[in-house]
Amino acid sequence: MAYAFAYSSPDPNDGRFDNLDEIETSQETSGEKSEKSVQQHQNDDELTGIVRKTTGKDRYVAQNADVTGSDIKDIKQLFGVRLKPMKKDVQTEKTDFKSFLFGPRKKTAHPHSQPKIKYQQPDKVSTVDPDPNASYPNNFVLKLRSGKTRHQRGYHESVKPLPHDAPKKENHTRFVCVSDTHNEHDNINIPDGDVLLHCGDFTLAGKMHEITDFNRWLGEIPFERKIVIAGNHELSFDPKIMEGVKIAKEKKGYSRWGSYLEPILDKDYKSVSSHLTNCTYLEDSGETINGIRIWGSPWQPEFGGWGFNVPRGREILKKWDLIPGNGIDILMTHGPPAGHGDKVQSGMSVGCVDLLNSVQLRVQPKYHLFGHIHEDYGITTDNFTTYINCSSVNYQYQPVHKAIIFDLPNKVL
């Protein structure tokens, strides 16, 4: 029987899982410094790895240790380490502690490895029915995982991002994706590329000075093209919100957003997006670059009464029905679809069920980009579409997430 060292620290906050290649254990130590190393035991093959005891620092380290036979007793006595039998299927010459503690590693696919995956493009439908689980995205996602929905494709595998310095192939366009910059645009490191894609929430409240400062930044960054959509924080871009502010002002009533947005009422509030002069602004509309078709849409399921909020179900499905079903390559929405990049801090999925249905069954883009749920930044795939949550800020609105890049072959030379 092979054994791995198990952690037995009395202190749960000592960051022991920060580096699982090195399992540590804190114990009271009284003796002098002693060290037991791999060399001592390599010959009899009883102990591999390194076991180290350091006085003063009060800690033991068992690194890649896999022990058998009489050493168990020795080690227990010497170091007081609790030993745990390893499961049969993880018995390897060199213990993989991550697998031992958390199960086998997830396989990851690189975005560029996509063409190698055997999945065929599934049959397309021309219309998507409202989903009975539309209001319960978390339940929907649980069903999705257990294969109890009409979706036949793989669920939520994570994908490694392409490094920013990866060389670009000839006749390809490099897209650089960001979202949710929330006025932090100057503090985000933007890699080189051909087209910048921003999935909304570039301001905190859609105030005019926020819009003009974002537009100034767009003018400074060196991209051939920049494509931007709005998010729920671009309040002034949503005519419904502005109508509410206008009516409240006329009737001298209260408006939640009045103090932010009243100055915009004096200008032509119906064309606030015209202040974004240094990009192409998409709102239920598309753009084609080097033959690559892009569609942008700001809507998200109702949450908190912000901009572009729409009730889940039939109403939001109508917005997704505006996305063409005939060959969109890159879909940009502000919010995520259910099950991809949509987990909030509690671990609950809050993405849009009807958006996932529309993406998987009807639109079938190569890439679906979004933000909105800052804490689930990253890339996933269903083995046909690559889903990118490119939120630049984290849950605390700090600009800590890297821009995500990908390349697509040009369709026109």
**Closest C-alpha among 101, 92, 80, 65 to residue 30:** 80
Q: Any contact of residue 17 with ligand 5GP (CB under 6 A)?
A: no
Q: Which is nearer to ligand 5GP, 200 or 365 (CB)?
A: 200
x-or-dash pattern for ligand 5GP, window 162-201, by CB under 6 A? ------------------x--------------------x
Residue type, 200: G
375 in contact with ligand 5GP (CB under 6 A): yes
**What are the residues facing 50 on neighbouring strands?**
63
Q: Choose which of 145, 395, 398, 409 interacts with ligand 5GP (CB under 6 A).
A: 395
List the one residue out of 189, 187, 135 whose CA is nearest residue 315.
135
350 binds, among Mn ion, ligand 5GP, none (CB under 5 to 8 A by kind): ligand 5GP
Closest approach of Cβ 378 to Mn ion, in Å?
16
Count the Cβ atoms, other than its own, within 10 Å of residue 162: 18
Count H helices and E strands in the chain, helices first.
9, 20
Please report whether residue 241 would count as binding ligand 5GP according to CB under 6 A.
no
Site for ligand 5GP in 83-112 (CB under 6 A): none
Pick one of Mn ion, ligand 5GP, none as the site partner of residue 344 (Cβ within 5 to 8 A by kind): ligand 5GP
Nearer to Mn ion, 155 or 397 (CB): 397
137 vs 231, beta carbon nearer Mn ion: 231
- Window contacting ligand 5GP (CB under 6 A); options: 55-63, 252-260, 373-381, 402-410: 373-381
State the residues that interact with Mn ion by CB under 5 A: 180, 201, 231-232, 372
Question: What does residue 76 show for φ and ψ, rounded to 5 degrees?
Answer: -60, -45
Nearest-approach distance from CB 4 to ligand 5GP, in angstroms: 37
Under a CB-based contact definition with an 8 Å cutoff, are residues 249 and 265 in contact?
Answer: yes
313-315-316 Cα angle (round to 5): 75
Backbone angles phi, psi at 53, to 5 degrees: -125, 125
Helix, strand, or coil (residue 301): strand
Q: How far is CA 325 from CA 120, 356, 366, in A?
A: 17, 14, 13
* Least distance between Mn ion and beta carbon 232 (Å): 4
Of 62 and 177, the one with the shorter C-beta distance to ligand 5GP is 177
**Burial state string for 346-382 with b = 16 or more CB within 10 A and e = fewer than 16:** eeebbbbbbbbbbbbbbbbbbbbbbbbbbebbbbbbb
Place of tokens 């100034």: 216
Look at residue 375 and give the partner it binds from ligand 5GP, Mn ion, none, a contact being a CB closer than 5 to 8 Å depending on partner kind.
ligand 5GP
Question: For residues 341-370, which are near ligand 5GP according to CB under 6 A?
Answer: 344, 350
Count of positions (residues) in the chain: 413
Question: Smaller CB distance to ligand 5GP: residue 298 or 301?
Answer: 301
Considering CB under 6 A, how many residues would be counted as binding ligand 5GP? 13
In the complex, the residues that contact ligand 5GP under the rule CB under 6 A are 180, 201, 232-233, 301, 303, 344, 350, 372-375, 395
